[in-house]
Amino acid sequence: MQPMQEPVKIRGMFAAIAGTYDVLNHVLSLNQDRAWRTFAVEKAEVRVGDTVLDVCCGTGDLSLELSKKVGPAGTAIGTDFCEAMVAIGRKKADELADPVRLGVADTLQLPLRDSLFRAVTVGFGIRNVADLQAGIREMARVTQPGGKVAILEFTQPANPLFRFVYYVYFLILLPILGNLVSGGKRNAYGYLPRSVLAFPDSDELSRIVGGCGLDDVRVHSQTFGIVTVHVGTKPGAPVDLAAGRAV
C-alpha cells in the first residue's frame, strides 16, 4: 500500500524545482520521456476530436501531447495542484500556440462534472497524490462510460541484471545529478527514487486500478520495464455527447 503523501510538502518541493524540471526530465531519462508520453496517448486510444483530461500535469508535456492528438476539433485540459508548474506549462503552450487549457486543481477534488472526458491520463504524478485509490476513482468519475483511464508511471524492472544496473543509476547517480542541476532544492531528486520504490508494483497497481471501478485493466511496459502504462476502461456503453445517447 502506498504511504500517504504530504500535499503541502510535495507542492512546495515541485514549486522549488519547476524551473529545471523539464530539462532534467529529458536529460535524466536520456530523452525517453517524450516517447513514453506518446506511447501513453496511443494506449489511451485518444482520437481526433476527443475531449481529454491530464491530471497531475506538471509543466504540461503530456497535456500538450494529448492536444496534438485531439487536434483543433478536440479539447485537451491539464490540471495540477502546483501553480508554479502550471505557470510554466501555460508559457510553453503560449509559445507553441497550442490551445491546451491548463489550470490549478487537486486531483482528489476535480472541479469537473461526471463522465465528461473520453480519456483521462496521468504521467508520473499519481504516486504523488495523497490517496492513490481516491485519485484513481476521481479520474474514473470524470471519464465517460467506455472511456479510458491511463496511468504512465515508473516501475521496477523484472529482469535481475537490468534491475541492478537500473538501481545503481536510479538510486545513486540520478539523485546526485538531479540535485546538482536543480541546486539540491528540498532534495527533490532524492525523493524521486524513494517514491518509486514505495509505489505499488505493476501487478498490485493493476489490482488497485481494477478496484477503483475500471474494467479490462491492461498493462503495457516500455524500456525494459522502467515504465508502464496501466489502462482501464470505465464500464458502460460509450456516449455520443453531441447526440446525447448511447452508441
- Residue carrying the nine cell digits 502506498: 2
Domain count, the chain: 1
**pLDDT, the chain, mean:** 92
Copy the grid coordinates of residue 171.
538510486
Q: Which residue has the higher pLDDT, 225 or 185?
A: 225
Rounded average pLDDT over 41-45: 98
| CA pair distance 78, 59, nearest whole angstrom | 9
pLDDT at 77 over 80: yes
Rounded average pLDDT over 137-158: 96
Q: Which CATH number goes with the domain that contains 97? A: 3.40.50.150
Type of residue at 113 = R
Can you give the pLDDT at residue 246? 37
Cβ-contact 239, 145 below 8 angstroms: yes
Copy the grid coordinates of residue 165.
544496473
The confidence band for 240, taking pLDDT boundaries of 50, 70 and 90, is: low
pLDDT above 90 as % of the chain:
78
Bridge partner list, 120: 53, 149
Residue 147 domain-assigned (yes or no): yes
Bridge partner list, 143: 117
Residue 245 domain-assigned (yes or no): no
SS3 147: strand
Residue 242 domain-assigned (yes or no): no
Can you give the pLDDT at residue 125? 96
Residue 75 domain-assigned (yes or no): yes
Cβ-contact 36, 44 below 8 angstroms: no
Residue 126 domain-assigned (yes or no): yes
Give the residue among 25, 137, 46 at the shortest CA–CA distance from 100.
Answer: 46
DSSP 55: E
pLDDT at 244 over 70: no
Residue 247 domain-assigned (yes or no): no
Can you give the pLDDT at residue 5? 64
The confidence band for 181, taking pLDDT boundaries of 50, 70 and 90, is: confident
Residue 1 domain-assigned (yes or no): no
Can you give the pLDDT at residue 245? 38
Could you tell me how many residues make up the chain?
Answer: 247
What range defines the domain where residue 133 resides?
Answer: 7-236
Rounded average pLDDT over 53-61: 98
Residue 206 domain-assigned (yes or no): yes
- Residue carrying the nine cell digits 504521467: 123
Can you give the pLDDT at residue 1? 46
